[in-house]
Structure 1
Amino acid sequence: MLKGIPAIVSPDLMKIMMEMGHGDEIVLADGNFPAAGCAQRLVRCDGHSTPQLLDAILRFFPLDMYVDKPVVLMQVVPGDLTKPSIWDEYKRIIQRYEPSFNGFEFVERFSFYERAKRAYAIVATGEKALYANIILKKGVITE
């Protein structure tokens, strides 16, 4: 164990974040997402919610401020009446760490799957909310 690292951040997850470079993407996948089938590198975080993990990750993980939208969400499928309230929670968490955050990019479901397949890693969560999948693009440390 180390000081200052939330217990929810496993050694595997910390290693993945440390290995990632500028522009690499990490997916936080909800419990319904086909994570094992899409992942190049899979980190299991079953039993944890995506907001808990997002908050813990953003303590260490800079978002890419050289792109317009460094955070990506899966678009609600046309005809689905779901209104993902978890997105508001994500926005509050992100703004705590990145005050200049200016909104999400929304990607169609199957395009999201294809993008996830190219991501550096996928973190499989136990999140039960629908449309709770989120992609983070890594930025640079400027300090």
Structure 2
Amino acid sequence: MLKNLHPLLNADVLYALRAMGHGDELVLCDANFPADSVARQTVLGKVLRIDGVGTTEAARAILSVLPLDNAVEQPVRRMEIMGEPATIPPVQQELQQEVNQAEGRARPLGSIERFAFYEAAKKAYCVIATGERRFYGCFLLKKGVLPPEA
């Protein structure tokens, strides 16, 4: 254990979050997402895991250390439900709350069609798989920067 770090952030996840640069994206996905096969095509090349929790809890841990990109309007995008792109299920509503809490303001989630999400995921820095069992618990998060200390 380390002080001031969320206990869900294991060494592999911390390495990836630290290694990412401004504008790099990570995939935070549910248990049904093809995490391993997609992760093989990412920059990191292997799937990372935060097991035993859903995407809400994993996002809380990740957002405790990861700055979101302020240079884009929607630094977090959700996978759209097939045939119902405007529907936002509870798992996505919960993630929206985590983003707003971490940012201290409203940062509306963007959305991306399911198959376009898969293509974007292959270009991400890494894939972090969770134990989320609810459908459409898949998100892309874009890393931002930390400003210089005054």
Q: Which residue of 2 aligns with 1:107?
A: 112
Would you say 1:84 and 2:93 are equivalent positions?
A: no
Aligned-pair distance for 1:79? 5.9
Per-residue CA deviation, residues 54-80 of structure 1 (Å, 9 max, x unaligned), is 001111100001001100100110069
Identity fraction in percent: 40
Query: What is the root-mean-square deviation of aligned Cα atoms in Å?
Result: 1.6
Runs of 4+ in 1 over 3 A off after TM superposition: none
Deviates more, 1:133-142 or 1:35-44: 35-44
**2:130 and 2:84 mapped to 1: Cα distance?**
26
**2:29 and 2:92 mapped to 1: Cα distance?**
14
Aligned-pair distance for 1:102? 3.0
Aligned-pair distance for 1:100? 3.5
Contact 2:6/2:64, CA 8 A, preserved across alignment:
no
Aligned-pair distance for 1:99? 2.6
Q: Give the AA of the match of 1:4.
A: N
Q: Give the AA of the match of 1:15.
A: Y
- What is the aligned counterpart of 2:133 among 125, 128, 133? 128
Aligned-pair distance for 1:83? 5.1
Go from structure 1 to structure 2 and tell me whether the alpha carbon gap of 1:22 and 1:128 turns closer, same or farther (over 3 Å shift): same
Q: Give the AA of the match of 2:30.
A: D
Q: Which residue of 2 aligns with 1:63?
A: 68
Per-residue CA deviation, residues 115-142 of structure 1 (Å, 9 max, x unaligned), is 0000000001110111110110000001
Go from structure 1 to structure 2 and tell me whether the alpha carbon gap of 1:140 and 1:129 turns closer, same or farther (over 3 Å shift): same
Name the SS for the 1:106 alignment partner.
strand
Q: Which residue of 2 aligns with 1:7?
A: 7
Q: Give the AA of the match of 2:11.
A: P
Contact 1:8/1:53, CA 8 A, preserved across alignment:
yes
Contact 1:24/1:119, CA 8 A, preserved across alignment:
yes
Aligned residues: 142
**2:126 and 2:58 mapped to 1: Cα distance?**
14
Q: Which residue of 2 aligns with 1:118?
A: 123
User: TM-score with structure 2 length normalisation?
Assistant: 0.89
Would you say 1:51 and 2:56 are equivalent positions?
A: yes
